[in-house]
Every structure is written in C-alpha cells, then in structure tokens.
Amino acid sequence: MTYLRLIWKQGLQIGLIGGVVALLIALTGMAVTFNQRDIISGVVSVGLMLMLLVMVFAGYLAARRTAQPRWLVLVNAMVAGLVPGVLLVVLVVVGNLVNLRLILINASPMLYDLLTFKQGVLAGSLSLLVAGGVSGLLAGLVYLLPDLPRRVLVTALAGVILTGVLQDLIRTVIAAWGPLAIINQWFFTGTGLTIPGAITVFVLVAAGVYLQAKRGAAVQAQYRSLRPTTQRGLKLTGLLLLALILIVLPQVLGLFLSEVLTIVGLYILAGLGLNIVVGFAGLLDLGYVAFFAVGAYTVAVLTSPELGMFHLSFWEALPFAVTLGVLSGVILGIPVLKMRGDYLAIVTLGFGEIIRLLVLSDWLRPFLGGSMGLGRLPRAIIGGMTIPGLNITLPAYEFTGPQQFYYLILVGCLIVGFIAWRLRDSRLGRAWMAVREDEDVAQAMGINLVATKLLAFASGAAFSSLAGAIFADKLGSVYPHSFQLMYSIYVLCVVIVGGMGSIPGVIVGAFAVLGLPELLREFAEYRLLFYGAALVVLMLLRPEGLWPEALRRRELHETEEAGEPVPEADLTCAPAE
C-alpha cells in the first residue's frame, strides 16, 4: 500500500504535470510548427523532440524525488513518462472522433500525424505509449548512473540537440570561413544534422566533458606544483590567447552574432553595476533603467545637432554622462536610506517611472525632444588627430556597425569588470557585504550606513550611465520608449540567473538571459515561451545561479555539504516498518 501511495505521489502526479505541459505544447501549435525543422535529418524533428523531452524530464524528475529502492525509482520514472503519452493518446482519439478545431484551432490532422508517427490511430497510439514509457524508463536509468557518466551523457545529448536547433546560424557562420566551409557538408544537410555529424558532435562533447572531469583536478594540482615564475608565464600566455580570441571574434562570427554580442555586452555593463547594488550591498533597485536613461540622454543632448545647444564629441560627452549618473544615484539614495526590502523596491521603481515620464513630458520637449526623441548623434571616433610639429595625422577609426562597436563595449566591460573586482575585495566591498547580511550588525561594527549605501547607488548608477551612453551612440538616436521598466527587470534577471554577488555570474547570466533569446529569434513568438520556461526550470534546479558566489552557494547548499538529507528528497520514500 505504501508503494502504491509513493507511485501516486511521485510518479502519477509529476506525470500529470508533464502531460499538461505536453498538451500545451501540442495545442499552441509549437509541435507542428517546429516539426518542419529536423534535429537529425530524417530521424527526429524539433517538434517531436519537444514531446519526448517532456516525457524524459518528467521521468527524471520523478526518479530524482524517489530515494529507494531502485526498482521503485524506475517504476516512478516510467509512470511519469507514460502519463504524458496517455494524455496525448486521449487527445488523438478524441480529436479523431470530434472536430476539436471548432474550439482548439491547432488540433489539426497534422498534429495527430505527428503524435502517431503517421502510423494511424491504433498503431500510432500504441507507439506513443511505448515512447512515453521508454522515455521515462531511460530517464530513470540515467538518474541511477554514477555522476560522471550521467554528466557526460546528458551534456553530449544536449550538445547534439542545441546544434540541431541552431543549425541555420551555425551553417551561416561556418560558410564564411573560406576553405573550412566544407565542414558544413559533413555536419549538415538541408534540413538538419547528418547522422555522422550528430555522432561527431556527441563524441566531441562527451570527450571534452570526460577529460575535463578526469584530468581537470590533476592539471590544476600540477599547475599549483609549478614554480611561481612558471605560473605567471602560463597565466600571461593564457591572457594573451584570450585577448587574441576576443579580438578576432567579430570577424569569425559574422554580422548577426556580433550584434548579439554587443547587446549582451551592454547588459554586462549594466549588470555589473546592479550587481554592486543588489549583489554586494543587498539593496533591491527596480528603477535601474533611470540611470541608463540619464547616460543616454546626456550624451544625446551634448552631441546631437538637432538641439543646437552643444556640439561635443562622444568622448567629450562621456565624462558628463558618467558624472550625472553618479549624481542621480546619490539623489535616489538619499530619500531611501531608511528603507529595506519591498519598500525600497517600490520607491526605486517609482524613481524609474518619474524619469521616463519627465523625458516624455512637453515641459522638457525643447531640451529632450519629447516623444520624438533625439537623433543624428555623431559616432564615436578614435584617431584622426594631428601630431603637433610633425604634421602627421593619425588614421581615424569610426565605430559604425556592430563589429566595430563590439570593441568599444569590450573595453568598457573590461574596465568596469576590473573596477568591480577591485571593489569587491576592498574595505568598501566588505562593508557592502556586511550591510547585505545585516544592517543593524554592520552599523554596530562601526560601518557608516549612509556613506556605504550612497556609494553603492553611485557606483551602480555610474556603470549604468556608461552603458546608456554607449547604447545611445550605437543607435545614433534615443527615444523614451527605449527606457521601459522591462529593462530593469532584464538586468535584475541577469544578476539573479548568473548568481548574485558574482562577477563572472553577471557575464554568464547576460548570455543566458539576453543571448539565448536572440539566438532563438527565428522561432518567432514561441521563443519567449521557451525562455520563460527555461528560467523557471533554472530557478528550480539552480536557485543560487549559474556561477554563484562561493558564500551564497554554501548558504543554499549547507545541508548537502554537511551530508544531511535535503528537504526535497526527504519524502518518506521507504516503506513503513
């Protein structure tokens, strides 16, 4: 009786959730739309893979929530994978008896053919049930594998799926590599990965993960045993190699991916600033877009010929933008010094909306352009100066397209990242972290809360204003509608997804939050649905972030590191004695 209760609690319930997700994917049209793209040509399409992944994930989650015995883990996993198949079979049977398209427009014969593998209702339904049960069972077997084989297998399969999904983008990049473009013939057909190409991707990814896991610790130990001079030489070589890769990256990736890198870079700039406010000091700021707007409009007002008041270059206007950003951060910080948590978030949210409404107002239209914004901003230029006495004019380099602005944003990220890194380990950085943990205790230890909080707001505002200034120069114009609340939400997501308080986490989070949706732009409106689902799954599986700070990782995983059972797994999975 206890086993039946556990199967219901961990197998059927999770399977029902997975079934609802599978029905949602089917009836919103995603399955049919994505069925036009193959991951492996002639073997499996993206639409069918979505359905199978739902069953696999349900089975894996059910196995993860079942402790012992092993046979019960496999039974729960199989049941959780089978239930979505049952619900899809019900959809197919009912859809063939009743015209569901009168209510659900995407319940089409094409959907039924996809779900039944074009084998008819009876044979196809049986195949779908078998596919669900086998998918869940395989997920359970994968869960029971040792950690290293499981990691190698899952990562390699994910690499094949990701390569198939992004095949058009990868093919375009490789096609610009001259003689190396012949690689496309080995890996891709017109509709998906070739079977040899899929095997090659699987083997390469699996080998990389395996070698990193097996040899990574040994290589690190060998590195630490070297003499300090040798270690410094290797570090310098690694930095030079990294610099070379970053320099040639836009030429290798092409125009579209360079544009994606510039968008990600701007959010890295802003995220490093918000990471100081939220991650270091623990001050929840939802009006962060205000400082971004201050930097953008400062550059626009000082450089745009439309107003005719100033005629500065971008480099002359940039210090003013950063300075006004610092002042606006202090102005915001003064009235909220006594506020914490939700109250602070609401007040900063109001500050951001005040800035947006002021920019839109008719009162400031002669100075800021109102709803029409400001345009014709001159591009940033390096060089073009004449050396006095030598009559030598240096060549001018103008930042015009994304492949040029990439270098400007890269330099900005390196400077801001270095400053943030030095601040984190400084006396001020430790004071910020003390305020984050407990303001009262920090004040009792002698930390000046007023100065510490104002410096956090000012530092974050300076970095955001820098990002806004580069953003305005990149577009060549500024409009009030570019500074909505969603910008603050996106930057906050970058910090949280990457790991609050972690500088490398901001970089990883920016690629995950902004880079991935841009790469999936070809999937139209469905990309945001996948994006939201991915964020939910990420927060469930990695609440500390993708690259968390060491202290935060210890706080969230204290019970696991102490060897105690985690609350989630403590579900009384063993039969009662």
pLDDT at 370 over 90: no
The Cα–Cα gap between 478 and 300 comes to: 7
> Model confidence at 570, in pLDDT bands (50, 70, 90)?
very low
The Cα–Cα gap between 315 and 442 comes to: 40
* Report for 204-218, 303-317, 407-421: range of highest mean pLDDT: 407-421
The Cα–Cα gap between 329 and 458 comes to: 5
**Is-contact 64 143, C-beta < 8 A?**
yes
pLDDT at 430 over 60: yes
Per DSSP, the three-state class of 478 is strand
Report CA dihedral (556, 500, 511, 534) to the nearest 10 degrees.
Answer: 40
Which tens digit of pLDDT belongs to each residue from 435-447?
Answer: 998 888 999 999 9
> What are the backbone angles phi and psi of residue 393, rounded to the nearest 5°?
-100, 125
> Model confidence at 305, in pLDDT bands (50, 70, 90)?
confident
> Model confidence at 569, in pLDDT bands (50, 70, 90)?
very low
- Written as six digits, the tokens of 11 are 């197998």
Report CA dihedral (277, 283, 286, 292) to the nearest 10 degrees.
Answer: -20
- Written as six digits, the tokens of 60 are 């894996």
Which tens digit of pLDDT belongs to each residue from 186-227?
Answer: 888 878 889 999 999 999 999 998 888 887 777 778 878 888
pLDDT at 400 over 50: yes
How far apart, in Å, are the Cα atoms of 165 and each of 44, 145, 254, 326, 527? 12, 27, 19, 43, 12
Q: Judging by beta carbons within 10 Å of its beta carbon (0-12, 13-18, 19+), is residue 494 exposed, middle or buried?
A: buried
pLDDT at 574 over 50: no
**Is-contact 485 353, C-beta < 8 A?**
yes
**End-to-end C-alpha distance for the chain, whole angstroms:** 12
- Written as six digits, the tokens of 491 are 């930057």
Which tens digit of pLDDT belongs to each residue from 238-289?
Answer: 889 999 999 998 888 888 889 999 999 999 999 999 999 999 999 988 889 9
Helix (H) / strand (E) element for 499: namely none
Supply the mean pLDDT for the chain: 85
Q: Judging by beta carbons within 10 Å of its beta carbon (0-12, 13-18, 19+), is residue 185 exposed, middle or buried?
A: exposed
> What are the backbone angles phi and psi of residue 8, rounded to the nearest 5°?
-65, -40
Percent pLDDT > 90 in the chain is 36
How far apart, in Å, are the Cα atoms of 255 and each of 383, 405, 408? 24, 11, 16
Phi-psi region of 138 (alpha: psi -120 to 50; beta: other; left: phi over 0): alpha
pLDDT at 101 over 70: yes
> Model confidence at 4, in pLDDT bands (50, 70, 90)?
low
> Model confidence at 100, in pLDDT bands (50, 70, 90)?
confident
The Cα–Cα gap between 369 and 373 comes to: 5
The Cα–Cα gap between 133 and 83 comes to: 8
The Cα–Cα gap between 246 and 568 comes to: 42
Per-residue pLDDT, 384: 66
Longest dimension (CA), the chain: 96
**Is-contact 83 12, C-beta < 8 A?**
yes
Which tens digit of pLDDT belongs to each residue from 473-496?
Answer: 999 989 888 888 888 999 999 999
171-175, 411-415, 569-573, range with the lowest pLDDT: 569-573
DSSP secondary structure letters along 199-229: HHHHHHHHHHHHHHHHHHHHHHHHHHTS-HH
- Which one-letter amino acid corresponds to residue 377? L
Q: What are the structural domains, with CATH classification, of the chain?
A: 2-222 (no CATH), 255-573 (1.10.3470)
Per-residue pLDDT, 117: 86
The Cα–Cα gap between 55 and 530 comes to: 16
Bridge partners of residue 374, in order along the sequence: 478
The Cα–Cα gap between 304 and 377 comes to: 5
> What are the backbone angles phi and psi of residue 392, rounded to the nearest 5°?
-110, 125
Bridge partners of residue 443, in order along the sequence: none
The Cα–Cα gap between 456 and 60 comes to: 43
The Cα–Cα gap between 122 and 117 comes to: 11
Per-residue pLDDT, 563: 45
Residue bearing tokens 């700039």: 269
* Residues in contact with 9: Cβ distance below 8 Å, sequence separation at least 6, in sequence order: 571
Per DSSP, the three-state class of 393 is strand
Query: Which contacts (CB < 8 Å, 24+ apart) does range 69-75 have?
Result: 70/144, 72/3, 72/6, 72/7, 72/573, 73/140, 73/143, 73/144, 74/137, 74/140, 74/141, 74/144, 75/7, 75/11
Per-residue pLDDT, 6: 57
Q: What is the pTM of this model?
A: 0.83
